[in-house]
Every structure is written in structure tokens, then in C-alpha cells.
Amino acid sequence: MLESVNEAEALNAQVIPDAEFRAAQEKARSAEEIDVTPVECDVYAEAAPEDRAAEATGAAMTFAGESSLQPDSITVASLPSEEAARAEVEAIRAQLDVCTEYTIVVSGQEITTTVSEIAVDTAADADLALRTTAQVPGTIQESVTVRAVVGSTVLDVLVGASTDREADIARAARLADLVVAELSVL
């Protein structure tokens, strides 16, 4: 499915299949000690990502986007049930009630992050869009993430922000819709 989107859009993406994707996630989880303040915003401390990795199959692809600071990416995970997939969207909405600003310290580097929900319209069964601003020493990185659910599949589209916020949202929604279209023919 990701290969089809890659070819259709001429993204020149690197597609990471399930086994490599799992290995990269495990390496990232075990490589760094991550401290998040306030504690209630520490999604890294929850068991859900590891439980999800054990239950889900997934893949990802990264490719050059509009932002020169970070690549764009699409991540897809097939969960055991539609309820589990929809629960992930609702968990993010619930987290936004508590955590719209937090600080992450990774390897001594402090990153202050703000997150807000933005409007999006995709062809998915359920969706959610977020604008994230991360202040890293020396730079500010903004991104738009669209999380969409189709049946028991969850997909995340991350687009590095450009100077045109509406275009960023439209780009992320369009990429999500391309994956949704591919999922509908499976």
C-alpha cells in the first residue's frame, strides 16, 4: 500500500517494512532515557506503545517534504480490532485535555513542545489533526500530524510545516486520503 502511494506521488520515499519498523521502534525505546514534565504528559512511560507493537503489524515511509528541517512520513499499523484503532484517536483527544505544553529531555537536550488540535477532513472512518511546535535549542520545528482510522488500521501522516499552514493541513489530509484509498481496495 505504501509502495503504491510512493509510486503514484513520485515521492522517492524509503519504505520500511514491518520487521525493520519493529526493530527501529524497539531500538528507539531502549536507546534513550526520556524525561517528560509534567509527568501526566509522559506518553513514553505508558505500556500502550509496547503493547501496540506486540499486537500490530505496520510499516512506514519517509520522504522529502516541504520543510527543510525534517522529512515527511507515513506510518501504518494494523491493530487487532476496530475498537482498538478508534481508541487511539480518542486517547489523543483525551490527552489534549491535560497536555498541550510539555518539556522532553533526551540525552540532556531539552525540547519544549506545544500541541493543538486543528480541523481536518479526510475520507477515513475517524480522524484527528494536530499542529506541534517543538522548540529545540537553536531552532523551532513545526509539524502537522493527521491520524486516521480505517477499520482496524491506524495511519499517521507527519508533514513538516512550511510557511503556509493551510497548505500543510491540505497536504497531510491528501496523503492520508491516498492511503485510505489504497486500504479500501485491500
CATH number for the domain harbouring residue 135 = 3.40.1000.70
Residues 6+ apart with CB under 8 A from 93: 117, 128
Q: Is 116 among the domain residues? A: yes
Of the listed ranges 49-58, 116-125, 160-169, the least confidently predicted one is 49-58
Q: Is residue 1 part of a domain?
A: no
Return the DSSP state at 40. G
The verdict on residue 2 lying in a domain is no
* pTM over the 0.75 mark: yes
pLDDT at residue 21 in the model = 83
- Residue 179: enclosing H or E segment and its boundaries? helix 165-184
Query: Hey, what's the cell of 145?
Result: 500530524
Cell of 13: 520515499
More confident residue, 85 or 51: 85
Question: Do the domain assignments include residue 170?
Answer: yes
In a domain, 85, yes or no: yes
> Count of CB atoms within 10 A of residue 41's CB?
19
Domain hosting residue 58, numbered range: 7-184
C-alpha separations of 55 from 18, 47, 72, 104, 152 in Å: 12, 12, 25, 27, 12
Does residue 135 form part of some domain?
yes
Task: Map residue 151 onto helix, strand or coil.
Answer: coil
Q: Is 148 exposed, middle or buried (0-12, 13-18, 19+ CB in 10 A)?
A: buried
pLDDT at 163: 84
pLDDT tens digits for range 135-180: 988 888 899 999 999 999 999 999 998 888 899 999 999 999 999 9
Cα separation values, 77 from 43, 80, 162, Å: 18, 10, 27
pLDDT at res. 161: 86
Pull the grid cell for residue 139: 531552532
45 confidence band (pLDDT: 50, 70, 90): low
Report pLDDT for 31: 55
